[in-house]
Chain A
């Protein structure tokens, strides 16, 4: 086999070929297939997670506010189908419930980590299957984690640091300052600087908006400097000037959500959805998921071999998978066989029934026939009897008549004699 792979030369085209439509072909296929995006909101109860999601996606997602008396941290997940122009988005929003409410918060981060890992695990399992359907797989891996920081104005809470440290290698973390209308502008600047320095000194890796593509490098670079975003959420619309705007009204003024001078909501929406949604998905798949997969497989005792021998790492897994697959096949076979046997039995029973009915019918008919026959014979007999009786009477009558005639003659004579007497 002759192969000139690496280092191929570029050849010029002498005319229009048409493969510049490739990106369109690819995009069209993706649009037909639909997209999915999964956001995880981590934050204490009451920080406005649900409201922010409603504001970001411009809808009222269902759900009642959570109480503060949850015994442990739970995660609540809901999926929605959104559509804009010709794009169909399957949006999944996962929120922590009861985060930060417990007295002892040592294990608070655990359910979150477990949830994220569970989504990776589900994907990995699908990827390892023998007969897999990755093309149609509903991806539930978390693409972005919005970490809600309470607007204390001072610094991060230790719970925040611990949690973010546990999550930074598993998910793209975008820290945001929630309910930031509680902080004044000057306090906000100091707060942001404090948070950023704490994150750095604790080695927490938050998501950096990518700056390698020239078209977005500038805006992403600027935005990176504004992290964490100070946001306000509101689904109430108020009339300001002559337009309806999302806002929160206070006695001392109105905070406009989409006013960049008031808060960073627009920046968040821009970064999260309009510029980097695809990159968030890609980073989740190529970085976080790969890391999980590598760790998991190494944990299971596999390793890639040196270049000499071929990789044997996953042989055992695949043996197990194969057995599982064969087992399933056998089960299916069994089920089908059972069904077949069942059907045959049913059919036999049906046929027996039919046969029985036929026999019964035959018997009935036979009986009917016999009855009829007997009736006829009886009738015939009675008729014969009648005929015989009639004959007898006839002969008797004839006899009588001839006797009577004789007697009649003698009778008349007798009567005449009587009269003569």
Chain B
């Protein structure tokens, strides 16, 4: 209770200077009898809030970006333990390689422990696959901004929906090819442009092609390159809320990331247990084994500890930045003054 108290006191004193001295409220007795003298019941708000959120359900939108064949769909399916992303089996003769990057957003509802989540996976086939990949991030940036625009339009309505549908991209997994050398120019360009509008989590794909030493060196080099190029990936240093966050996130930023992952949806028998893995002549790579790859770290990070934070950073920071810029730009909101009602041109 100590640190929470002092942090909040500091926060409170910033906001409301005229706050009085704390009246002494006796702590809740550890007995279950809630009617003992002294207990008010303020802490029941936690339960009330939890119930409310369980009822409304959650949305989560995750985008995967990377060249074909890096195992994006497999990884997402492994993360969410279900077929939420349709694997493309490469470009066969009937399917042409798309001339530009396509954006495919597919939504599914998944449920676990009474919690309902509408998960939307946004795939970006064609990224980095052409001979000339100049500006191939533009359709992606455009898509992300379009979702912000959609939300903004809803928010600005006079009669608003009770719950504005959230299609904004909360998390963008960027797949780095496990070359072992360094980041490619395309990787740097993409991340430079997009790290300012969306939370980017870089992952090293198909990490089963690197030995432990190669992995560590590669990760160090990648981190250095990102730093040198001023690319702030999630969790961004400037959004750490307090010391606790900072220590936790520092460790992740400086040691664990980028996560070197392996994905698989096939199960094998290892030591009497069924595990997800990849079978090779020289052994079975267990996806969820931390000594084999960092998939479990990525999963825990994205889903079990930072999911809500990803959404909040998107809403409180990226969206607000977009909104402020949009409202500040000449022209304000889309159209139009009464005179130019004839030209219904989209400003998007």
> Which residues of A are interface residues toward B (Cβ below 8 A)?
1-5, 8-27, 29-32, 34-35, 56-62, 78-90, 130-132, 134-136, 138, 213, 215-216, 237, 243-246, 258, 266, 269-270, 273-279, 282, 286, 290, 293-294, 297-298, 302-304, 308-315, 318-319, 321-322, 325-326
6 inter-chain pairs at a CB distance below 8 angstroms, sorted by A residue, are A13-B112, A16-B112, A32-B4, A275-B44, A294-B159, A319-B332
Q: Are A277's CB and B22's CB within 8 A?
A: no
In the complex with contacts A23-B115, A290-B160, A59-B328 CB distance below 8 A: no
Q: Are A84's CB and B82's CB within 8 A?
A: no
CB-based closest 9 A-B pairs: A20-B113, A59-B23, A278-B48, A25-B308, A274-B41, A8-B107, A18-B304, A310-B334, A318-B332
Q: Are A4's CB and B106's CB within 8 A?
A: yes
| Stretch of B11-19, B194-202, B217-225, B255-263 on the interface side | B11-19
Chain A proximity of B136: nearest CB distance (Å): 16
Q: Are A322's CB and B327's CB within 8 A?
A: yes
Q: Are B327's CB and A10's CB within 8 A?
A: no
Residue of A10, A273, A302 near B108 (CB, 8 A) is A10
Residue of A22, A58, A275 near B40 (CB, 8 A) is A58
Chain A proximity of B238: nearest CB distance (Å): 15
Residues of B within 8 A of A13 (CB): 80-82, 110-112
In the complex with contacts A3-B105, A27-B46, A310-B335, A80-B158 CB distance below 8 A: no
Residues of B within 8 A of A279 (CB): 48, 52
In the complex with contacts A21-B304, A282-B52, A57-B40 CB distance below 8 A: yes
Residues of B within 8 A of A282 (CB): 52
Residue of A3, A34, A57, A58 near B12 (CB, 8 A) is A34
| Stretch of B24-32, B175-183, B229-237 on the interface side | B24-32
Residues of A within 8 A of B332 (CB): 315, 318-319, 322
In the complex, whether B333 has a CB less than 8 A from a CB of chain A is yes
In the complex with contacts A13-B110, A82-B23, A19-B117 CB distance below 8 A: yes
Q: Are A130's CB and B37's CB within 8 A?
A: no
Q: How far is the CA of A302 from the CA of B102 in the complex (A)?
A: 38
Residues of A within 8 A of B27 (CB): 84-85
Which residues of chain B (26-73) have a CB below 8 Å from chain A? 26-28, 34-35, 37-46, 48-55, 58, 60
Residues of A within 8 A of B45 (CB): 35, 87, 89, 277-278
Q: Are B37's CB and A5's CB within 8 A?
A: no
Q: Are A275's CB and B48's CB within 8 A?
A: yes
Residues of A within 8 A of B23 (CB): 57, 59-61, 80, 82
In the complex with contacts A29-B312, A87-B42, A277-B48 CB distance below 8 A: yes
In the complex, whether B94 has a CB less than 8 A from a CB of chain A is no
Which residues of chain B (287-313) have a CB below 8 Å from chain A? 299-300, 303-309, 312
Which residues of chain B (79-117) have a CB below 8 Å from chain A? 79-84, 102-115, 117
Which of B1, B43, B110, B336 has the most CB atoms of chain A within a 10 A radius of its CB? Answer: B43
Q: Are B157's CB and A304's CB within 8 A?
A: yes
Residues of B within 8 A of A32 (CB): 4, 7, 241-242
In the complex, whether B324 has a CB less than 8 A from a CB of chain A is yes
Q: How far is the CA of A326 from the CA of B83 in the complex (A)?
A: 50
Residue of A nearest to B20 (CB): A80
Q: How far is the CA of A56 from the CA of B327 in the complex (A)?
A: 45
In the complex with contacts A322-B332, A325-B328, A84-B25 CB distance below 8 A: yes
Q: Are A83's CB and B22's CB within 8 A?
A: yes
Q: Are B303's CB and A9's CB within 8 A?
A: no
Q: Are B8's CB and A88's CB within 8 A?
A: yes
Residue of B nearest to A216 (CB): B51
Chain B proximity of A75: nearest CB distance (Å): 15
Q: Are A30's CB and B49's CB within 8 A?
A: yes
